[in-house]
Structure 1
Amino acid sequence: MPDPKPAPQMNRPRVYPPPEFPPRRPALFARMPPAVFPVLMGALGLGLALRRGLPALGLPAEIGDMVLGAAVALWLFAAFGYLVKLTRRPSVLFEDLRVLPGRAGLAAGSLGLLLTSVAILPYVPAMAQGLLFAGLGLHAALAAALIYSFATGPAEAREVTPAWHLHFVGFIIGGLSAAPLGLIGLSLLIFAATGLAALAIWAVSLLQLFRRIPPAPLRPLLAIHLSPACLLSGVASLLGLNDWALAFLAVSGAIFLALVGAARWITVSGFSPMWGAFTFPLAAFASALFLQGFDVTGTIVLVLALGLVPLVLFRVLKAWAGGSLAARTNAAEA
């Protein structure tokens, strides 16, 4: 008589550890989201637009300086928070660079230093010059880190996006300080190099639009295409290159009208932290218009910026304070 077959052993269910109670809370600033920086960049841009535009309307420029002071304070607080995160674990920088909101946010964060240089230029030129070189160095280091991340990361991350303007054309903000400081050679170098980079990114992005439709959540990033044209126009105006200034202002106007015409399509997915991409380009367009003497049109754009920038700023800061901004933008934790 054959031996009976042994009874099959039942697989025991996997035992999972019980959930932590109370839930573990990350350390202060450990998950600081870089996605807060684009809207802070917009707040700085709004302050600069007010300082440039209010005197044209017969209003005191000091109102713009007050807005700039508040925006610089917010940027300093956010920059301190990310510095704390970096000191806990420096490699977290490359983790944030793996995702699009992190890449765009970090670029906007470093450009905030260049905008701060522009903000303080009328009052402490020596400090403004120091911040100019520090900002250019910081942004160059971040661009190098990004290129390394592209080289070692997945091929999908290397796709050209509007955020590339922040990474590789953002240096143009330095020209807004360098020209008034008398650093004409540096301003011309920045203007030429970033102008070529902007043209290349615009060309590739236009081809991409013909080939495929960007997903709805990423469409707000298309507004970033407006910034380089406005900034190139502004720097050209400060350098006395009036023909170039008018040419780039015309490009700015064309991009702005295209964005307005496609506004419903761009915002179809509803509000998200990506709306921070709307803020700085709108303020930069107002500044460029005022620089060229188009005060009426500049005032209309400035009013639009006054309505949009504080609203987006409030909602993004609220999400940051509540902890949802880090989760929604996949911010890394140190």
Structure 2
Amino acid sequence: MTDAPKPIPRIKPKHFPPPPPLVQASPGLWRRTPPAIFPPMMGLFGLGLGWRTLAAQPGMLPLAPIGEAILGAVLLLFGFSLVAYLSKPLRRPGVLWEDLAVLPGRAGLAAMVLCIALAAAAMVPYQPAIALVLVSVAFAFLVVLGGMIGWAMVSGPQEARAVTPVFHLTFAGYILMPLSLIPLGYLAFAKGLLIVTILAASAIWLVSFRQLVTRTPPAPLRPLLAIHVAPASLFAIVSAQMGYVTLAIGFALFALALLLALLASVRWLLVTGFSPLWGALTFPLAASGTASIQALGAVGFWVGAVLLIAASALNPWVTTRVVKAWAKGQLAMKTNAATA
């Protein structure tokens, strides 16, 4: 018998794998490009067109380079982003249906098509022929996209069939086409689009108001309510360009009323903090400024100038944050973008 201590048995250390990364590695170049990159680009297009409108007012010609510089920069950004997204359906066409299955995907794809129409409006003073091609492509794509979204809703779950402000982009977004068609001389077609889109937007406003009264929108989706301002603003802009003064004034005031209601409830609207859906705030703000300038005379000039200055601060900031999130791979995860 010995007093020597017994050897301590060796304990095999357990393996604890590290937690998965919050941002997954990219599956390949542009294979998961999120459609959510496009709504803030609409805001930049609207901002550039707004500064162009402001520079066209008496005595404001020295401001002309601001709008043209913004439009030139956003055309380059949009062109790059469009190539990045289209690489997905070129690899696997079915990825479009997967992106349409989620609300950020529907909003993003509609914004992508509408950016083509806004690019046409930007090109009108420089290349009218190219502008006509672009607006024709945008019109055709929006018709196809509307059909795809309608089918996705009908064939999808019941909860996915609710009317949302995103409907304005898909079914009333045609009102962006007259921004190019009017200066190109297609007045009859522009008038027809104005009438049809007023009817479509009015139906969406009525249904949305009823839904807002009966139930509170989920906090993450509340920024989308800002989209309601955009069609009213565009109706004012197009009406003013076609000489329908009373109609232009009415819609411009309606747009400002909606904007004031949103500003009064901004804490409720943005309670969840920044998200990719803040892209929905950008275009309506710029469009309401342009509508005020074109439809409301001397008072509207100052109101519109203030709104454009506010948009000049908000829109690039939102776009920068969204593009950074895209570059880091966070945007695709947050918006549940499909992978090609």
Choose from 316, 323, 328 the match for 2:329.
Answer: 323
Choose from 128, 144, 149 the match for 2:147.
Answer: 144
Q: What code does the residue aligned with 1:171 have?
A: Y
DSSP 3-state at the match of 2:49:
helix
Structure 2 Cα separation of the partners of residues 183 and 312 of structure 1: 35
Tell me by how many angstroms 1:155 deviates.
1.5
Structure 2 Cα separation of the partners of residues 288 and 264 of structure 1: 25
Structure 1 Cα separation of the partners of residues 54 and 27 of structure 2: 43
Which residue in 2 is equivalent to 1:269? 272
User: What is the aligned-residue identity percentage?
Assistant: 46
Choose from 55, 80, 85 the match for 1:82.
Answer: 85
Tell me by how many angstroms 1:143 deviates.
0.7
DSSP 3-state at the match of 2:31:
coil
Q: What code does the residue aligned with 1:135 have?
A: A
DSSP 3-state at the match of 2:183:
coil
- The alignment status of 1:111 with 2:81, answered yes or no, reads no
- The alignment status of 1:123 with 2:123, answered yes or no, reads no
Which residue in 2 is equivalent to 1:168? 171
Which residue in 1 is equivalent to 2:158? 155
Structure 1 Cα separation of the partners of residues 25 and 110 of structure 2: 30
Which residue in 2 is equivalent to 1:6? none
When the two structures are superposed, what TM-score results if normalisation uses the length of structure 1? 0.92
DSSP 3-state at the match of 1:180:
helix
Deviation per residue, 1:119-155 (Å, 9 max, x gap): 0101111111111111100111111111111121112
Structure 1 Cα separation of the partners of residues 137 and 37 of structure 2: 21
Tell me by how many angstroms 1:288 deviates.
0.8
DSSP 3-state at the match of 1:122:
coil
Q: 1:265 to 1:25 in 2, by over 3 A?
A: closer
Structure 2 Cα separation of the partners of residues 269 and 245 of structure 1: 35
Q: What code does the residue aligned with 1:37 have?
A: F
Correspondence 1:96-245 to 2 at 5 A? 96-245=99-248
Deviation per residue, 1:191-241 (Å, 9 max, x gap): 011000000000000000110111111000000000000001111111111
Structure 2 Cα separation of the partners of residues 276 and 24 of structure 1: 25
Structure 2 Cα separation of the partners of residues 176 and 213 of structure 1: 35
Q: What code does the residue aligned with 2:334 have?
A: R
Query: Across the two proteins, how many residue pairs are aligned to each other?
Result: 316
- The alignment status of 1:302 with 2:308, answered yes or no, reads yes
CA RMSD of aligned residues (A): 1.7
Answer with 195-204 or 126-135: which moved more: 126-135
Structure 1 Cα separation of the partners of residues 241 and 184 of structure 2: 11
Tell me by how many angstroms 1:55 deviates.
4.2
Structure 2 Cα separation of the partners of residues 24 and 192 of structure 1: 48
When the two structures are superposed, what TM-score results if normalisation uses the length of structure 2? 0.90
Answer with 32-41 or 151-160: which moved more: 151-160
Contact 2:236 2:249 in 1 (8 A): yes
Q: What code does the residue aligned with 1:285 have?
A: S
Tell me by how many angstroms 1:104 deviates.
0.3
DSSP 3-state at the match of 1:61:
helix
Structure 1: 5+ residue stretches without partners: 1-18
Q: What code does the residue aligned with 2:49 have?
A: L
Structure 2 Cα separation of the partners of residues 77 and 193 of structure 1: 33
Q: What code does the residue aligned with 1:332 have?
A: A
Structure 2: 5+ residue stretches without partners: 1-18
Q: What code does the residue aligned with 2:316 have?
A: P
Which residue in 1 is equivalent to 2:63? 60
Tell me by how many angstroms 1:307 deviates.
1.1
Contact 2:25 2:329 in 1 (8 A): no
Structure 2 Cα separation of the partners of residues 80 and 311 of structure 1: 23
Structure 1 Cα separation of the partners of residues 158 and 256 of structure 2: 34
Q: What code does the residue aligned with 2:172 have?
A: V
Structure 1 Cα separation of the partners of residues 81 and 157 of structure 2: 29
Tell me by how many angstroms 1:50 deviates.
1.0
Contact 2:26 2:329 in 1 (8 A): no
Structure 1 Cα separation of the partners of residues 232 and 181 of structure 2: 18
Structure 2 Cα separation of the partners of residues 298 and 224 of structure 1: 18
Correspondence 1:12-31 to 2 at 5 A? 25-31=26-32
Tell me by how many angstroms 1:60 deviates.
2.9
Deviation per residue, 1:60-114 (Å, 9 max, x gap): 3122111001011111111111110111110000000000000000000000000
- The alignment status of 1:43 with 2:61, answered yes or no, reads no
Q: What code does the residue aligned with 2:319 have?
A: L
Contact 2:40 2:319 in 1 (8 A): yes
